């Protein structure tokens, strides 16, 4: 896997060079990146299903699942609000888009392509699949989540009779992770094609006029990850954020090469279990966080809106920004369920909040691909931190194992992506609270 790590880095650098040297040729390489991301997405539904069924089905009391779920959603709501507030503060300090005097009519065609976000009712109804099996073919994380939760609770009700089924799901999970490890060897090819196509299509000229908003967005994400998430992680679980992010280094590289945090979702599930977070907490928090804990997307929605308003000469007042904040807290929760994710949610949000600014969505499309990398990295970091915190707060986190893993003394198995030994459940194998001094 060290060879694969180096190969991805080399592929990214080669893609940048080809993009600048032969932009016409580079534009035709985009199917390589798209194909690799599609291979990863192909594995998400079965991995989420197996993980949640094992997590929920192995818990003796259904009340624990409800407790973890409510705690996770409450945490996600608070952190997304903080992310939006930080985005507003930085946006007001930098004034992105000021002085550009852009004409929204020039972006009307791009806006029509970007718009089309779902309403809240359609989003909620979309969680319910047409059939029990269609959840695996529609590619919806939330539909798979619903079916997996129902299956997990059903296995709980079956009691001892459900143990053979649970064991069968464990074997299927091993098969699925093994397939994923094989797909990962295509990462250098996918990374090369994706990066080359982006550089070939965009070039440097398109970036110059939008440099302020890009730098501001990246800085905001860095502040949020290292200051906000780092502080919460330390005070909540006594884990150093730099150690955790270093442990997830390969996943961050994968996200940079694909600009999609979904590509690293299966590995995050495996690595969080290896770190010492119980299977039940990981199985609930990670998939739920991928739909509801979108900190990077929240920052993006806020700063992109401020940029569009300033670029068109219609800056938002403080009151309008506060109402925008409230709206975007809700809108960001549905970003994972909308085709086009951030850009479609931005268009849908502006349509409901400030229709006169919707035409400016096209201005942001030129750099959306570059901003999506920071967006995906921030979302991923937020979900990793959330999983550790929820595990710590529910006493489902093995601190002794985490210390061994983060120090490098207990490395992650890159071949199987699974621990050979059964995942330890801290609440079952460790003495009850009060038994230790």
For residue 284, what are the CA distances in angstroms to 53, 230, 292, 387?
10, 22, 12, 9
pLDDT of 317: 75
Q: How many CB atoms lie within 10 A of CB 63?
A: 9
Q: Look at residue 389 and tell me whether its pLDDT is greater than 90.
A: yes
Backbone angles phi, psi at 277, to 5 degrees: -80, 135
CATH 1.10.3860.10, applies to 39-429: yes
Give residue 260's region: left, alpha or beta (phi > 0; psi -120 to 50): beta
Percentage of residues of the chain with pLDDT beyond 70 = 68
First CA to last CA distance, the chain: 41
Task: Render pLDDT for 396-437 as a digit per residue (tens, 0 to 9).
Answer: 888 888 888 888 888 877 665 555 444 444 444 444 333 333
Domain ranges within the chain, ordered by starting residue: 39-429
Q: Look at residue 20 and tell me whether its pLDDT is greater than 90.
A: no
* pTM score, whole prediction: 0.64
Q: Using CA atoms, how far apart are residues 44 and 290, in angstroms rounded to an integer?
A: 11
Q: Look at residue 101 and tell me whether its pLDDT is greater than 50.
A: yes
Task: Render pLDDT for 264-294 as a digit per residue (tens, 0 to 9).
Answer: 777 888 899 889 888 888 888 887 787 677 7
Residues 6+ apart with CB under 8 A from 226: 241
pLDDT band of 2, cuts 50, 70, 90: low
For residue 380, what are the CA distances in angstroms to 36, 166, 222?
19, 29, 13
Task: Render pLDDT for 301-356 as a digit per residue (tens, 0 to 9).
Answer: 888 888 777 777 667 777 777 776 666 665 555 444 333 456 656 665 666 567 67
């Amino acid at each position: 896997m060290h060879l694969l790590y180096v190969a991805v880095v080399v592929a990214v650098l080669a893609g940048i060079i080809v993009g600048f040297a032969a932009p016409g040729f580079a534009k035709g390489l985009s199917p390589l990146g798209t194909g690799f991301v599609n291979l990863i997405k192909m594995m998400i539904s079965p991995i989420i299903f197996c993980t949640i069924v094992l997590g929920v089905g192995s818990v003796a009391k259904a009340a624990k699942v409800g407790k973890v779920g409510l705690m996770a959603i409450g945490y996600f709501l608070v952190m997304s609000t903080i992310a939006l507030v930080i985005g507003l503060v930085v946006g007001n300090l930098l004034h992105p888009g000021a002085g550009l005097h852009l004409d929204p009519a020039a972006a009307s065609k791009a806006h029509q392509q970007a718009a089309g976000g779902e309403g809240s009712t359609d989003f909620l109804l979309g969680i319910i699949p047409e059939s029990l099996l269609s959840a695996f073919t529609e590619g919806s994380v939330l539909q798979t989540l619903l079916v997996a939760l129902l299956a997990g609770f059903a296995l709980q009700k079956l009691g001892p009779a459900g143990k053979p089924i649970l064991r069968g799901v464990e074997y299927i999970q091993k098969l699925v992770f093994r397939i994923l490890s094989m797909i990962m060897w295509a990462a250098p090819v996918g990374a090369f094609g994706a990066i080359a196509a982006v550089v070939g299509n965009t070039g440097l000229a398109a970036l110059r006029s939008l440099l302020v908003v890009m730098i501001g967005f990246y800085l905001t994400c860095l502040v949020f990850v290292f200051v906000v998430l780092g502080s919460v992680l330390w005070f909540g679980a006594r884990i150093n954020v730099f150690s955790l992010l270093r442990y997830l280094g390969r996943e961050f590289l994968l996200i940079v090469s694909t600009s999609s945090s979904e590509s690293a979702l299966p590995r995050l599930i495996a690595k969080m279990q290896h770190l010492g977070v119980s299977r039940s907490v990981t199985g609930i928090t990670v998939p739920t966080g991928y739909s509801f804990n979108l900190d990077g997307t929240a920052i993006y929605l806020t700063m992109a809106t401020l940029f569009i308003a300033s670029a068109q000469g219609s800056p938002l007042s403080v009151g309008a920004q506060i109402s925008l904040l409230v709206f975007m807290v809700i809108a960001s929760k549905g970003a994972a369920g909308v085709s086009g994710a951030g850009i479609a949610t931005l268009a849908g949000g502006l349509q409901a909040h400030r229709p006169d600014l919707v035409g400016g969505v096209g201005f942001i499309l030129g750099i959306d691909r570059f901003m999506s990398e920071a967006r995906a990295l921030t979302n991923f970091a937020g979900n990793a931190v959330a999983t550790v915190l929820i595990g710590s707060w529910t006493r489902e986190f093995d601190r002794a194992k985490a210390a061994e893993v983060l120090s490098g003394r207990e490395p992650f198995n890159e071949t199987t992506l699974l621990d050979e030994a059964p995942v330890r459940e801290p609440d079952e194998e460790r003495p009850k609270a009060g038994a230790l001094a």
